[in-house]
Structure 1
Amino acid sequence: MEIVISNTSKKPIYEQITDQLKQHIISGVLQEGDALPSMRALARDLHISVITTKRAYEDLERAGFIESIVGKGSFVTQHNKELLKEEKQRQIEEHFTRAIELSKQCDISYEDLAEILKLLYTEEE
């Protein structure tokens, strides 16, 4: 499992960590019950503050992606299928929003954009 921190990103470091760990869980790189690196180990590996990793882990725990057990560490929780579906849907909506903004900048009509989506969606079938 790799986490890459970008100093040029507009996102705070804790959010970059949170997003990447969520993505690893959603994609199956991290499975139910897998242990995450300790907050100290992750902070050391990324050359960041433990407070930053603590905030990322707390956000993941609040969102239901991980659970932390005192003295044992943090682990990927049992996947709630609805939670994962909701997260994937949120990501799709973000991509659609970017595509719509770009389409408007290029004067691509709704109908043309819908046709592009239809072609791309049915291309795999």
Structure 2
Amino acid sequence: MTIIISNLSNDPIYLQIIDQIKGLIFSGEIKEGDALPSMRNLAKDLQVSVITTKRAYEELEKEGFIVSLTGKGSFVSGQNKDLLRTKKMKILEEKLKEVLKESKILNLSMEEIIDIMKLLKEDVK
């Protein structure tokens, strides 16, 4: 499991960890039942505070992405496919809202936004 922290990002480190772990779950790189690194090991690997990794794991657990078992560690939780898809859709909707806000500032029409999306879709494989 590879997580890369950017000091140039506007997002706090714990959010960067959360987003990347969610991405690994969504992509299937880590699966139901897979163990995550301990909070201490992850903090050491990323050279961040254990408090930071603890906060990230707590948020992931609160959102149902992981399960933490005292004395055993943290594991990717078993979520059904519909719930996972719903969570992915919510994230996508939030990103699209940001795009629409920016497009409004630029005074772009819906047709222009759709054209841009079509062009971008060709680049994504």
Which TM-score applies when normalising by structure 2?
A: 0.83
Q: How does 1:72-111 map to 2 (within 5 A)?
A: 72-111=72-111
* CA distances 1:32-90 after superposition (whole Å, capped 9, x unpaired): 10000011100000001111111111111111111111111110010233331222112
Deviation, 1:116, is 5.3
Partners in 2 of 1:54 and 1:79 — Cα distance?
Answer: 22
Cα shift readout 1:75-118 (whole Å, capped 9, x = no counterpart):
0010233331222112221332233234334432124434655x
Distance in structure 1 (CA, Å) of the matches to 2:70 and 2:32: 18
Residue 66 of structure 2 aligns to which amino acid in structure 1?
A: I
How many aligned positions are there? 123
* Further displaced range: 104-113 or 49-58: 104-113
Which residue in the other structure is 1:17 paired with?
Answer: 17
CA distance in 2, matches of 1:11, 1:116: 26
State the shift of 1:9 in Å.
Answer: 1.5
Q: Aligned pair in 2 of structure 1 residues 43, 116: CA closer, same or farther (>3 Å)? A: closer
1:69 counterpart residue number: 69
Aligned partner of 1:59 in structure 2 is 59
If the length of structure 1 is used for normalisation, what is the TM-score? 0.83
Residue 36 of structure 1 corresponds to which residue in structure 2?
36
2:5 alignment partner in structure 1: 5
Gaps of 5+ in 2: none
2: distance between equivalents of 1:115 and 1:53?
41
